Amino acid sequence: IPMLGLENAMSREELFEFDQRVKKFLGLEGEVAYYCEPKFDGLAVELVYENGLLALGSTRGDGMVGEEITANLRTIRSIPLSLSGDFPSLLEARGEVVMLLEDFQRLNELYEERGLPHFANPRNAAAGSVRQLDSKITAERKLTFFAYGLGRFEGALPSSQSEAISLLADLGFLVSSLRQKALGIGAVADYCADMEKRRETLPFEIDGCVIKVDEISLQERLGEKSRSPRWAVAYKFKPVQALTRIRDILPSVGRTGAITPLAVLDAVQVGGVTVSRATLHNMDELMRKGVLIGDWVVIQRAGDVIPEVVAPLAERRDGLERPFIMPDRCPVCGSGVIKPEGEVVYRCEGLDCPAQIKGRLKNFVSRRAMDIDGFGIKLIEQLVDSGKVRDMAEIFRLDAATLASLERMGPKSAQNLVEAIEKSKGRPLSRFLNALGIRHVGEATAEAVAGRFLTLERVMGAKREELLEIDDVGPQVAASIVDFFEDEKNRASIEKMLSLGVSPKEEQTGAGGGALSGKVFVLTGSLSSMSRDEAKESLKRAGAKVASSVSSKTDYVVAGEEPGSKLKEANSLGVTVLDEEAFLKILSSSRETQQSPAQEEAPLASTPKKQGTLF
Ligand code: IVH
């Protein structure tokens, strides 16, 4: 079962919008019961227990495939090696590995004594520790595991999230004592505000709260979008701020050639993290904020995002401050710098600018793209600087001898890299599209496009109108995709990759296996048992397509109350019309013939006995 991510709510208003979406989808009027707990800032892991014994532990990875780290996880005291009480034959517990603040401080003190570099924050320390090759080192660093959900589970399922958590506690897991049920979104918002206030007093770092619809049956109805469930949201705390001084501002060249002003700071702690660089986004922002080199500034860090400069403290100026001037030549390749009409960014015009090539390669090999293990930034720099790789395609020309000739690269690592490169040739189409670095095309869009066209050839030939039919693809994205594949240079680069053996595999759409696979439905009028969105979603889960207008390709028209003209069209075209009752029958029989939908937290039933709670 995939380990999904969470959508963020950045404000109280966005929490209320989440609640509105939930109610609209379910067609509910009354208050929804929610389950709330802190959002731990650590590393997500999954533990598999077979017959009550810890059999396997892994990181979340990309949600589908993670790293196996069982030996390391075994050294964590809050991870039971065997379950207590009435355990099921198979259980997957999911949760977060964190380093408590006191353990983090102790570790950094120890490192200082040994003359080793500090960890920037507890999360980095935790993540670095569980991924150690030597589990003795992991054992030395004290880590803590909080369980927050279930994966696969064999046994009687509980009916709510809160029951599932109590069950985990009964089985011997540590769960958060800060968890709480809240009736209605107002109570949820109060909980979040309270946690935000208490945040600094907790023994571990949290960066927000996780809110889930408590009832599992409602979670099931809500289902999930591509990477996150509709039944949960992460409320993110306001960014933490700090004061420091700008030593210099440098023009930094990104993979699209965009040159952004980057502030070099006197290092400062912001919410437990040492920050020495912050972005000023672009020249317009810099001018608007009126930031000068030498200024004292407020900077802020929101979760994972690069810290940003908020504002200068003009009253602290001593007259020695000076403005940043955008160079007219690229600081990396010396090509001209232009500011395209209507854009706020300055760009390096050089097509072969090493900074751009490095940026593109970094994106290409990254985990969510071609996922070439061991292909780090240092290697990219060496390859580009030595002229051995000038574009993405040339990665596939690298052989062990060339790689082994690089500094700090032994024959064994070179061989491993060659194998990793080979393996990446068969990555799914969506990853490949994400890897190409098409402007405005991120992971979700790449997936949607791959799911729609299935082959690279068809994506390359896709028309603007066809792209616009995809949910979430607007005019800007569609134009960007079309332009990318029309570009001769891009086509040549793709051809080269294909000739070197890259063959992006067709996507598994998941829809293929459904009981209503290939059937086209059109909905009209309103249903009494569910919202239009839920009806659509249920059909999609069963493999059906939902179209917006009736045509000869339509298999069924579902007519609810007060149907529109679509019903007439159905009748005149001789399309089968289903009333609500018939529609529900088709849906439920389709469910019987398919497996129960995958969900993040499978439910369980239990009576809370003891609580394995420490905090
Ligand atoms: S529930 C579908 N509960 O947040 C629900 N996640 O963006 C998935 N996280 O990678 C997770 N504390 O590592 C949940 N109390 C908590 C959490 C939590 C931290 C992390 C988790 C995941 C990310 C989701």
- What is the DSSP secondary-structure string of 284-353? HHHHHHT--BT-EEEEEE-TTSPPEEEEE-GGG--S--B-----SB-TTT--BEE--TT-S-EEE--TT-
Q: Whose CA is nearest to atom 17 of ligand 1?
A: 39
Q: How many CA atoms, within 13 angstroms, populate the side-chain half-sphere of residue 83?
A: 23
Q: Which atom of ligand 1 is nearest to the CA of 4?
A: 2
Confidence of residue 615 (pLDDT cuts 50, 70, 90): very low
41 Cα to the center of ligand 1, angstroms: 9
Helix (H, G, I), strand (E, B) or coil at 173: coil
69 Cα to the center of ligand 1, angstroms: 19
pLDDT score of 351 more than 60: yes
Please give the Cα distance from 182 to 445 (Å, whole number). Answer: 35
Q: What pLDDT sits at residue 593? A: 61
φ/ψ region of 299 (left if φ > 0, alpha if ψ in -120 to 50, else beta) reads beta
Q: What pLDDT sits at residue 50? A: 97
Instruction: Please give the share of the chain, as a percent, with pLDDT higher than 70.
Output: 94
**269-314: pLDDT as tens digits:** 886 677 899 989 899 999 999 999 999 999 998 665 678 999 999 9
354 Cα to the center of ligand 1, angstroms: 38
Closest listed residue to residue 452, CA positions, set 472, 465, 466: 466
Q: What pLDDT sits at residue 150? A: 96
Closest listed residue to residue 62, CA positions, set 502, 371, 447: 371
Q: Whose CA is nearest to atom 21 of ligand 1?
A: 44
CA dihedral 346, 348, 351, 355 (to 10 degrees): -110
pLDDT score of 607 more than 60: no
Assess whether 39 carries a catalytic annotation.
Answer: yes
Confidence of residue 24 (pLDDT cuts 50, 70, 90): very high
Q: What pLDDT sits at residue 38? A: 98
What's the whole-number mean pLDDT along residues 419-448? 93
Q: What pLDDT sits at residue 524? A: 94
Confidence of residue 362 (pLDDT cuts 50, 70, 90): very high
Q: What pLDDT sits at residue 595? A: 45
What's the whole-number mean pLDDT along residues 302-329? 90
Pocket lining: 164 vs ligand 1, CB cutoff 6 Å: no
Please give the Cα distance from 358 to 391 (Å, whole number). Answer: 9
3-state SS of 71-122? HHHCCCCCCCCECCCCCCCEEEEEEEEECCHHHHHHHHHHHHHCCCCCCCCH
What's the whole-number mean pLDDT along residues 533-541? 90
pLDDT score of 5 more than 70: yes
Q: Which atom of ligand 1 is nearest to the CA of 176?
A: 15
Pocket lining: 130 vs ligand 1, CB cutoff 6 Å: no
Triad 227, 233, 237: Cα angle to 5°: 120
Contacts of 201 (CB under 8 A, 6+ apart): none
37 Cα to the center of ligand 1, angstroms: 10
pLDDT score of 331 more than 50: yes
What's the whole-number mean pLDDT along residues 458-462? 94
Confidence of residue 612 (pLDDT cuts 50, 70, 90): very low
Pocket lining: 148 vs ligand 1, CB cutoff 6 Å: yes
Q: What pLDDT sits at residue 567? A: 94
pLDDT score of 266 more than 80: yes
pLDDT score of 427 more than 90: yes
**223-258: pLDDT as tens digits:** 998 789 999 999 999 888 999 999 999 999 988 899
Please give the Cα distance from 114 to 447 (Å, whole number). Answer: 47
Q: What pLDDT sits at residue 305? A: 64
**111-134: pLDDT as tens digits:** 888 877 778 788 888 998 998 878
Q: Choosing from 23, 24, 39, 212, which is the catalytic residue?
A: 39
Q: Which atom of ligand 1 is nearest to the CA of 228?
A: 2
Mutation pick for ligand 1 pocket among 8, 47, 96 (CB with most ligand atoms within 8 Å): 96
178 Cα to the center of ligand 1, angstroms: 15
Q: What pLDDT sits at residue 547? A: 85
Mutation pick for ligand 1 pocket among 18, 92, 99, 210 (CB with most ligand atoms within 8 Å): 210
Q: Which atom of ligand 1 is nearest to the CA of 600?
A: 2
Cβ burial, residue 49 (10 Å; 0-12/13-18/19+): buried
Q: What is the pTM of this model?
A: 0.71
Q: What pLDDT sits at residue 568? A: 94
Mutation pick for ligand 1 pocket among 10, 37, 148 (CB with most ligand atoms within 8 Å): 148
**501-533: pLDDT as tens digits:** 999 976 555 445 678 888 889 999 999 989 998
Triad 484, 366, 283: Cα angle to 5°: 65
540 Cα to the center of ligand 1, angstroms: 26
- Judge whether 229 and 222 are in contact, CB under 8 Å: yes
Q: What pLDDT sits at residue 606? A: 35
Q: Where is pLDDT greater, at 368 or 485?
A: 485
Pocket lining: 210 vs ligand 1, CB cutoff 6 Å: yes
> Which H helix or E strand runs over 267?
strand 258-270
Q: What pLDDT sits at residue 451? A: 85
234 Cα to the center of ligand 1, angstroms: 8
Of 48-62, 97-111, 531-545, highest mean pLDDT: 48-62
Pocket lining: 232 vs ligand 1, CB cutoff 6 Å: yes
pLDDT score of 18 more than 90: yes
CA dihedral 450, 452, 454, 458 (to 10 degrees): -100
Pocket lining: 207 vs ligand 1, CB cutoff 6 Å: no
Q: What pLDDT sits at residue 613? A: 33
Q: What pLDDT sits at residue 514? A: 76
39 Cα to the center of ligand 1, angstroms: 6
Pocket lining: 100 vs ligand 1, CB cutoff 6 Å: no
Q: Which atom of ligand 1 is nearest to the CA of 146?
A: 15
Cβ burial, residue 496 (10 Å; 0-12/13-18/19+): middle
Please give the Cα distance from 68 to 54 (Å, whole number). Answer: 13
Pocket lining: 5 vs ligand 1, CB cutoff 6 Å: yes
Helices 488-499, 475-486: crossing angle, 10 deg rounding:
70
Kindly report which listed range (23-32, 469-478, 534-543, 600-609) carries the lowest average pLDDT score: 600-609
Pocket lining: 484 vs ligand 1, CB cutoff 6 Å: no
Q: What pLDDT sits at residue 117? A: 75
pLDDT score of 598 more than 60: no
What's the whole-number mean pLDDT along residues 547-567? 91
At 409, list the tokens: 């690269």
Q: Which atom of ligand 1 is nearest to the CA of 96?
A: 13
Please give the Cα distance from 21 to 14 (Å, whole number). Answer: 10
Q: Which atom of ligand 1 is nearest to the CA of 149?
A: 1
What's the whole-number mean pLDDT along residues 560-577? 93
Q: Whose CA is nearest to atom 23 of ligand 1?
A: 5
44 Cα to the center of ligand 1, angstroms: 7
Q: Where is pLDDT greater, at 53 or 507?
A: 53
Q: Whose CA is nearest to atom 15 of ligand 1?
A: 39
Q: Where is pLDDT greater, at 91 or 543?
A: 91
